[in-house]
Amino acid sequence: MLKTLENLNFNNSFARLADNYYSRVDPTPFSKPTHLISFNHAVAELIGLDPEQRHRREFCDYITGKQTWPGSDPLAMLYAGHQFGQRVTQVGDAHAILLGEVNHRGATNWDLQLIGGGMTPYSSPGDGRAQLPATIREYLCSEAMHALHIPTTRSLCVVAAEDERYGETMETEAMLVRVADSHVRFGSFEVFYYREQYEQIKILADYVIEQHFPELIDSKNKYNDWLKAIIKRTAHLIAQWQTVGFTHGVMNTDNMSVLGLTLDYGSYGFIETFDPGYRSNHCDHHGRYAFDQQPSIGLWNLSCLLQALTPILNTEEAMDCLKDYESIFFNHYYDLMGKKLGMLETDEEAIDIINGLLKLMVEDKRDYTNTLRMLGNFKIAEIDQRLRDHFISRAEFDRWADIYTARLEKENLLDIERKKRMDAVNPKFILRNHLAQQAIDKATREKDYAEIEKLFTILSDPFSEQPEHEAYAAESPDWVESMSVGCSS
């Protein structure tokens, strides 16, 4: 049975750890009236909240901290991290407050975290609040990633007030309710390692294993087995990012989830014209977090986590586990890419075919998403002329197509069946930067939130044709090349 605002089943197991893992802090309500920008019905039902509660006058009061959720125990989590390769001794939730956990029907405990909830002990002067554009970007992208079947945090809603704060420009203040299995990060362990508080590492590791890896509780080598699980989840996550062209933009260790979730949406972007060196973050001057660097950064971040866990690991064995990352990543990546090309198996020949297509796409500057979607129309008996004309180097495409055709003939799958399989894994719709910006512009300049709702609906069903929304699958206009997304976006 779905609950009202007053009787959600709140808990906060993290708050039962010692207070050196966090600081208790209440949200700071907005000083001016608030209003609901957008509401995620699916997430409301996931946590057991009746979606009709959004219509109540008290709804925004609960979201913004003006009224306290019964049973919640708000806190800001402590962590450290490596940011752009440099160790930072303390970070912590600077503009996020963990309200607690909600359990619905005995399933997963869902963390509810308030983004933009006010100053915490880890905030810098002027921090604590979120801007409306940034909350809209996370709200839209987290649901888009979920619909793409990529592990991610999600969002319940966005609310805004008349208050303004200065980020890169003057913007409306907003809050977002983020929902996740857990918000524990690699940096949650780094902070205690560099403080030489090794017992705290063990306590936190035991907590995470008990809450999220219960199958390892009785393992004779549970910490090493747990690290293996994190390595696998991280490798799989980044492989999934690569297959859809997603670039996180700020892969600091404090933005890496121990559950392998896409966490902390800031300066992300989806590749459009295929460029492996694509940078979504204009603050990333040296391309550390460029698209093609993400797999190696995943390994680098895992090495930081391993270092932080050395007090509780069999270190020699753990180093061997880390050596498996690359093969886990590439096996999963090519398995997924093989499916995107409609191949039933992924062997060396299939890998050559995949890489050959990607090379063509780079050389001809083709749109990554649209090219893979169009490939579903490939026919063994005849070349789809529209697909062929999509490439500038037609002779090169013909040579590649001959090899691809021979492979498909060997697999003996009907064109119509292969297209069905390919369309189920090659999205037609992604959150292109200009689409997000158009929704943000209407919301911030005109207080018109209809485009957010429309985009949210389209992105929630990315693999369907949706012919009435064809324009949302089109390649970006030329002016998008001048767009850039900063660290705080």
pLDDT in tens, 380-402: 988 888 999 999 999 999 999 99
Q: How many CB atoms lie within 10 A of CB 478?
A: 7
The secondary structure of residue 264, as a DSSP letter, is: -
pLDDT band of residue 33 (cuts 50, 70, 90) is confident
Contact 88, 189 (CB under 8 A): no
Known catalytic residues are 254
In Å, how far are 145, 248, 272 from 427, measured between CA atoms? 11, 18, 13
Structure tokens at 377: 């129309």
Q: How far is CA 144 from CA 138, 235, 270, 473, in A?
A: 10, 20, 11, 14
Identify the CA nearest to 141 among candidates 152, 127, 129. 152
Q: What is the per-residue pLDDT for 95?
A: 93
Q: How high does pLDDT run on average in the chain? A: 94
For residue 32, what pLDDT is reported?
A: 87
Q: What distance lies between CA 122 and its chain's CA centroid?
A: 23
CA angle at residue 337 from 333 to 338, to 5 degrees? 115
How sure is the predictor about 477, in pLDDT bands with cuts at 50, 70 and 90?
confident
Tell me how far apart the alpha carbons of residues 393 and 139 are, in angstroms, rounded to a whole number. 39
pLDDT at 202: 98
Residue 195 has pLDDT above 80, yes or no: yes
Helix axes 450-459, 132-147, angle to 10 degrees: 20
The strand pairing partners of 166, in sequence order, are: 170
Residue 9: band (very low, low, confident or very high) from pLDDT cuts 50, 70, 90: confident
CA distances from 367 to 270, 363, 371, 424 (A): 11, 11, 6, 19
**Is residue 273 helix, strand or coil?**
strand
Look at residue 169 in the predicted model and tell me its pLDDT: 59
> What tokens were used for 376?
């579903």
Tokens coding 409: 């003939």
Indicate left, alpha or beta for 27 from its phi (over 0: left) and psi (-120 to 50: alpha).
Answer: beta
Spatial neighbors of 437 by CB under 8 A, at least 6 apart, are 483
- Cα–Cα distance, 403 to 424 (Å, whole number): 24
Closest CA to 177 of 128, 117, 115: 115
pLDDT band at residue 25 using 50, 70 and 90 as cut-offs: very high
Report the b/e string of 421-432 with b at 16+ CB within 10 A: bbbebbbbbbbb
Nearest alpha carbon to residue 139 among 127, 149, 128, 130: 130
Please state, in angstroms and rounded to a whole number, the distance separating the CA atoms of residues 45 and 55: 15
Nearest-angstrom CA–CA distance, 250 and 244: 18
**8 A C-beta contact, residue 198 and residue 216:** no
- Taking the CA atoms of residue 363, residue 369, residue 370 and residue 371 in that order, the dihedral angle to the nearest 10 degrees is 40
**pLDDT band with cut points at 50, 70 and 90 for residue 163:** low
360 has a pLDDT exceeding 70: yes
Give the span between the Cα atoms of 386 and 264, in whole angstroms.
39
Tell the burial category of 98 from Cβ atoms under 10 Å away from its Cβ (0-12, 13-18, 19+): buried
Instruction: Please count the CA atoms within 13 angstroms of the CA of 32 that sit on its side-chain side.
Output: 10
Contacts of 16 (CB under 8 A, 6+ apart): none
Q: Write down the pLDDT at residue 118.
A: 95
Give the per-residue pLDDT at 489.
42
C-alpha distance from residue 380 to each of 351, 408, 415, 465 (Å): 19, 7, 7, 23
Q: Which tokens is 157 given? A: 């809603």
